[in-house]
Structures are given as C-alpha cells and as structure tokens.
Amino acid sequence: MDKNILGTQIVTQIGIIVNDIEKVSQSYANFFGIEKPEWFWTDTVDVAQTEFNGESSIARSKLAFIDGGQLQIELIEPDHNPSTWREFLDEKGEGVHHIAFGIKGMKEKIELLNRNRMPLIQKGEYTGGRYAYMDSFDELKVLIELLENDN
C-alpha cells in the first residue's frame, strides 16, 4: 500500500448513520449542552449528481451537523433509495459510517485509493464542493469520505 495517500492525517468529520435524526440530534444537543442542530435534506440528484456503485441515484438523506471543536459530527438519516447510507443502515444498523478528510485533487485521490484496493462507492456534489465515499472497510474498518471544497 502507498504511504500518506491523502497527504493529510487530520480527520475533519465523523459520519454517523441514524434511524431518527430528530431524536439523535436532541441527544447530542443534551450531551454537549448546545442548541439542537436543524436538519436538512441533501440536494436532489439533478443538483447533487449523486452516483452509487457507478449508477445515477436519486437517494437523499437528512443531515445535521454538530460542531465538536476540531471535529464535526455529521448525523445522516437516509431515505429508502439505494445509497451507501441506506446499505449501511440495512446491513449494520446505526453507527459510525465514515471518517472524513479535507483534500485537494479529488479525481487523483480517488484513482490513488482505487489502486490501493479502496474503491469508490458513492460520490456527489454539494454547495461549494464535492464528496466521495471510498470502500476502505477491509483495510481500515471504516469508510473514508473525501471532501473537496472549492475555496
């Protein structure tokens, strides 16, 4: 395996799959003594250009973000359409889905991870950037999310 594939060791986010984003958001708010974060839907496929296992996907999720200081916690409640989020919930239940890293050069990083037996599972766009989930589970026991912001 190549070394220092991403060019960073800084984990920026932990993504957690949940069944009930309202309930879990409130639990985190209580735990941290903060206001409950508002959730929102991910963009529709025409905006997000979501692809799951190489195919266009209409899958969406409710997302809520909790600022954990150096680390952001992302809560994800998937809809019932095929996605890495739905697959995880159906197969493993609720829990940690991914750790995320901010990167530059999305296409090159995807190719590098593919060559290191960590293939692309799902990718898409969001306002201000793009994401990609890589199947690093066999090697790292968690998925990796690549986040590339435009600014």
Mean pLDDT of the chain: 95
81: nearest Cα among 48, 114, 128 = 48
What average pLDDT does range 51-62 have in this prediction?
Answer: 96
Convert the pLDDT of each residue in 23-38 to its tens digit.
999 999 999 999 999 9
pLDDT category of residue 58 using cuts at 50, 70 and 90: very high
Whole-model pTM: value is 0.94
Convert the pLDDT of each residue in 10-24 to its tens digit.
999 999 999 999 999
pLDDT category of residue 99 using cuts at 50, 70 and 90: very high
Torsion (CA) 50, 122, 92, 8 in degrees, nearest 10: -130
